[in-house]
């Protein structure tokens, strides 16, 4: 994935500037791009810059390839296509050719060397994009950082595993193409961002939900070493069942390659001689409709030499300052799909997931039969998918010697859903619609903490409430609400219980995420 020097288009790594009518031209290693005034007149945005070749045809299910250079100035006024995904087919703007990124930077950025923040979107690795409205880069870029957002392959296009794909790979692996896309985007940032006024030696990656999971994974894989220097994980989705071994059946489930075999057996007659040729000949839209959406992250010996939790437990992750946090009501977005009718239905789900520990979980989360059944399900999802894994991550970083800060967002902003999953994103990007004063102040605090962290590796800034670092023994976190204050022992009893049962809990069935 190393990018060769393209002599005809590399100009001593110096930006070529030309401005007229709010437009500005910048040279990249692949060619010149023209940016335009963004929503903020002080900000120039460059949208839809390709960072790798279109992953189509023979490049479907291949690592991202170096983008071919172009000669004319590429106009970057509109976003590039987003990755194909089942949701919202009718809205358009989707394509298998999706490996594009966007840059926002303040005007007069020549030689600025500002901190860089790279946003990785969420969506369960099956939907979403870096083009979403609440994540436009004007607000953060206005605080003297260069903001980058990226698209990457999703669903089967980003994660499909199959023995035939592994066999054709020089490394004998398949899957994790989306993570390789993210690494390629970070390589693009390293090689080009100085020309947009950014400092390639001060890059912060941040993301929410599956974007937070991506940050978790990028902090674990050796392939991303040196490409970023700080990390922010917002509500990382770290349910243990999403990680599987590529080739071996384990306590966590069958080999990830089994999923590809099972799916292609459903698609093709057993007499098909070249499964990969058939798969690559199939139109991408048809493929995405016919195969399953969700695929595991594969421990393949290459992108991930070990299961990510093992990498963190052994202290082999990258040593970078980190912020990690969760929202109080994460589970309201997911528990409504579960459809538990009564206590017996709920108990069967817990037995399937937790085995012999099901009774302990019921006793903790649901002391009264059939009372507050949905509330118990919401809290278990919140704790099991987000809060406990986030604490486990924070402790792994602390144990390794990395500075880490933890937050918990508790402001109820989505009606009955409360402080729901993803509810903090608008605050982080300054994209609240007609905010009341306390929301505007909280958004400004979020942005200032995030930007100060990107600048200095520590979120503390004069004028903001002090945010103590996370230390395992003191277990402190910052409560983000109308009033910002420090808390201790976030969901401590629940996290301790989940720590105890997680050793035997890893079942293959994704009961709590599939009852819809």
Active site residues: 209, 330, 421
Beta bridge partners of residue 323, listed in sequence order: 232, 405
Distance CA 328, CA 342 (A): 25
Distance CA 171, CA 192 (A): 28
CA dist 243 → 85, 116, 120, 294, 508 (Å): 21, 30, 19, 12, 10
Show the CA angle centred on residue 191, arms to residues 75 and 210, nearest 5°: 80
Burial readout 376-388 (b: 16 or more C-beta within 10 A, e: otherwise): bbbbbbbbbbbbb
Q: Mark residue 108 as left, alpha or beta (left: phi above 0; alpha: psi -120 to 50; beta: remaining).
A: left
Distance CA 177, CA 152 (A): 9
Helices (H) and strands (E) in the chain, counts: 18, 18
Distance CA 255, CA 431 (A): 42
Nearest to 99 by CA among 25, 44, 177: 177
Radius of gyration of the chain (CA): 23
CA dist 445 → 72, 192, 454 (Å): 42, 30, 14
Distance CA 321, CA 402 (A): 6
- Token pair recorded at residue 244: 């599987």
Distance CA 476, CA 467 (A): 9
The 3-class SS string of 7-57 reads: CCCCCCCCCCCCEECCEEEEEECCEEEEEEECCCCCEEEEEEEECCCCCCH
């Amino acid at each position: 994935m190393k990018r060769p020097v393209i002599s005809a288009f590399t100009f001593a790594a110096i930006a070529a500037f030309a401005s007229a009518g709010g437009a500005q031209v910048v040279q990249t290693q692949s060619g010149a791009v023209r940016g335009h005034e963004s929503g903020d007149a002080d900000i120039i945005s460059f949208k839809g810059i390709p960072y790798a070749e279109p992953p189509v045809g023979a490049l479907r299910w291949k690592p991202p390839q170096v983008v071919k250079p172009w000669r004319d100035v590429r106009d970057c006024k509109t976003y590039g296509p987003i990755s194909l995904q089942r949701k919202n087919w009718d809205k358009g703007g989707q394509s298998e050719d999706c490996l594009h990124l966007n840059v926002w930077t303040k005007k007069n950025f020549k030689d600025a060397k500002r901190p860089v923040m790279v946003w990785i979107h969420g969506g369960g690795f099956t939907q979403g994009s870096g083009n979403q409205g609440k994540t436009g880069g004007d607000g953060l870029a206005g605080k003297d950082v260069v903001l980058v957002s990226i698209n990457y392959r999703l669903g089967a296009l980003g994660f499909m595993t199959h023995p035939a794909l592994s066999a054709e790979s020089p490394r004998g692996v398949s899957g994790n193409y989306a993570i390789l896309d993210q690494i390629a985007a970070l390589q693009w940032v390293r090689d080009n961002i100085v020309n947009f006024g950014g400092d390639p030696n001060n890059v912060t990656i941040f993301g929410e939900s599956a974007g937070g999971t991506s940050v978790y994974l990028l902090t674990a894989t050796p392939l991303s070493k040196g490409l970023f220097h700080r990390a922010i994980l917002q509500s990382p989705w770290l349910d243990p069942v999403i990680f599987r071994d590529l080739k071996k059946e384990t306590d966590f489930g069958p080999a990830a390659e089994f999923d590809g075999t099972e799916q292609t057996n459903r698609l093709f007659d057993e007499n098909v001689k070249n499964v990969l040729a058939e798969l690559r000949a199939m139109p991408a839209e048809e493929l995405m409709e016919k195969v399953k959406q969700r695929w595991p992250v594969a421990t393949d010996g290459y992108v991930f030499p070990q299961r990510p939790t093992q990498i963190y437990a052994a202290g082999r992750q990258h040593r970078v300052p980190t912020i990690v946090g969760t929202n109080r009501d994460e589970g309201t977005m997911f528990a409504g799909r579960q459809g538990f009718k009564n206590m017996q239905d709920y108990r069967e789900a817990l037995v399937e997931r937790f085995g012999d520990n099901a009774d302990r979980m019921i006793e903790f989360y649901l002391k009264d039969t059939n009372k507050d059944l949905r509330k118990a399900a919401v809290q278990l999802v919140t704790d099991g998918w987000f809060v406990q894994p986030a604490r486990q991550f924070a402790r792994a970083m602390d144990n390794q010697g990395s500075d880490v800060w933890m937050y918990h967002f508790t402001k109820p902003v989505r009606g009955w859903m409360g402080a729901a999953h993803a509810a903090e994103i608008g605050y982080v990007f300054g994209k609240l619609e007609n905010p009341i004063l306390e929301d505007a102040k909280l958004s400004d605090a979020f942005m200032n903490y995030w930007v100060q962290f990107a600048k200095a590796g520590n979120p503390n800034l004069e004028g903001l409430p002090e945010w103590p670092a996370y230390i395992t023994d003191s277990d402190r976190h910052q409560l983000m609400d109308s009033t910002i204050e420090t808390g201790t022992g976030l969901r401590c009893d629940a996290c301790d219980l989940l720590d105890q049962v997680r050793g035997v809990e890893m079942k293959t069935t994704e009961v709590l995420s599939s009852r819809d």
